[in-house]
Amino acid sequence: KERIEAQKEYIDRIEKILLEAAEKEGAEIPPQLPSVKKMLTLQKELSKPPENNWKCNRCTLLNDEKATNCAACDNEREIELKGDEVMCGICWDMLPPDRIKDTSCGHQFCEECWSGYLTCKIKDANVMEIQCPDPKCQREVKEAEIKQCVDEPTFKKYGKFLLNAEVAVDRKKRWCPTRDCETVLKYQGTRKVTCEECKQSICWNCNERYHRGSCEKKSCC
């Protein structure tokens, strides 16, 4: 650290000499100054912010390229589109239109981000009312959209999770208790319910094979 500070101090002194020499017409400049001048130029180049950093149009603060809002005034970043490129609303990359998915709500996302977003939701079993990833949008993503954007195994998993979620919140639906049967039973108004898949009759009250009398004194028919 001390060495770096000493180098900075040395360069500052040389810069002062250069300025004084420039003010005096015909002043003799030491031969080592051109190389020092290059050092100064390099120092200025290194001190420049990264090209991808963006300047806030409200407070002029330079913000990190990945930031969506200004760190000082919270002003939202304004993106300048180049030619026919379209900005993905998730990764903020500028991409050609053929790599962008248009949604019914008008928000645009690249294929990779859109598919990844939906796949993550499904893997987390968060399938009830999947919404547009835009934080200001409340639109629910339709099943047809999901089918187009995820692979077949993921979509099958989506269907299973969705059915599980529906059964969990609907008191008139339940899974057939018969072993290896994956059918959803629907309450028909009587306690005797017959599974359409395995043909087993179930008592809706106790969720076991249908029986005569009360559930406490079962007598299977």
How far is it, in rounded angstroms, from Cα 135 to Cα 131? 9
Looking at residue 156, what is its pLDDT? 92
Looking at residue 100, what is its pLDDT? 84
Q: Which of 136, 165, 194 is the last residue of a domain?
A: 165
How many CA atoms lie less than 13 Å away from 35 in the CB half-sphere?
Answer: 3
Give me the DSSP letters along 73-86.
Answer: T-PBPPPPP-TT-E
Same-domain check for residues 151 and 185: no
Domain count, the chain: 3
Partnered with residue 14 across adjacent β-strands are: none
78, part of any domain: no
Q: Which two tokens stand for residue 166?
A: 């529906």
99: CATH: 3.30.40.10
192, part of any domain: yes
3-state secondary structure of 28: coil
pLDDT tens for the chain, 221 residues long, are 555 566 667 667 766 766 666 556 555 555 555 555 555 555 555 455 556 677 777 777 787 877 778 887 788 776 655 557 888 888 888 888 888 887 888 888 988 999 999 999 999 888 888 899 888 888 999 888 899 889 999 999 998 898 888 888 888 888 888 888 888 888 888 888 988 888 888 888 888 888 887 887 554 54
The residue to which tokens 């991409």 are assigned: 95
Structural domain of 182: 174-220
